[in-house]
Structures are given as C-alpha cells and as structure tokens.
Amino acid sequence: MTIRVSRYNMDDLIALFPVLFGILIAMAILAWVAVYFVKRMDNNKPLITRRVKILEKIYSLGEIEWYVVEFENGERLKLRNLNAHKMILSAGDVGILRYKGMTIEAFQREGMRNQNTHQFGSWG
C-alpha cells in the first residue's frame, strides 16, 4: 500500500520559490513607494495647529492609525498617524494638534483627562 502526501515534485516547489520571493519583494517596494508619495503630498500642504479632542481611533494597520478628532468649533476631521510607535493617542485626549493635509505631525496633551476645568463644550 502506497500513501502519497502530495502530487507535486519537490523540484517544482524549489523552482517556484524565487518567483514567490520576487512577488513579495515587489509588493514591499510598492507599499514603500505609496507611503512615500502620501507623505510627500501632505508635506506640500501648510502646517495647521489647533486645539482638539481625540474622539476615537477608527482604524489601525501596522504603523498607520486613523483617528476622528473634534475641533473647538465642533468641526470633525479624520486624520492619520503615520508614527504610531512614537506618538500614542487615545480616545478622550485633549490637546494641541499639528497636522499637514491628513497626517498628524505632533500632539501635545493638556494635563490629565479629568483635571482640566477650562475645557470648552462638553469636553472633559
């Protein structure tokens, strides 16, 4: 009695390895180029500094996180954080946000969440 595990020859699988490796390298290069162009488009826009409240983190993929923020005038905006390993944001944080285009450049918290008594609107 003979038991076959696979109908493929090991030589065929070894020959396929360079092709799969090449596809992975090409995908990594395309991802890097896409991030480069996204950053470049935002770097051409003016730096805006405003006081905000982080409402929620809506999406996260690796080092890229998307947040909904609310400004003092009630306006809301969806912004991305490309430095999730360096800049940790949390829902409910209030502070000064600097952004270009749709990319968060920096965020400076204002004290602890429940210790601010001079916050505007329903914040706090």
pLDDT at position 56: 93
Distance CA 73, CA 1 (A): 78
pLDDT at position 79: 93
pLDDT at position 38: 80
Q: Which residues of the chain have pLDDT under 70?
A: 1-8, 112-124
| HSE value, Cβ hemisphere, 13 Å, CA-based, for 100 | 13
Distance CA 83, CA 77 (A): 18
The pTM for the full model equals 0.63
pLDDT at position 26: 95
CB 79 within 8 A of CB 62: no
pLDDT at position 59: 87
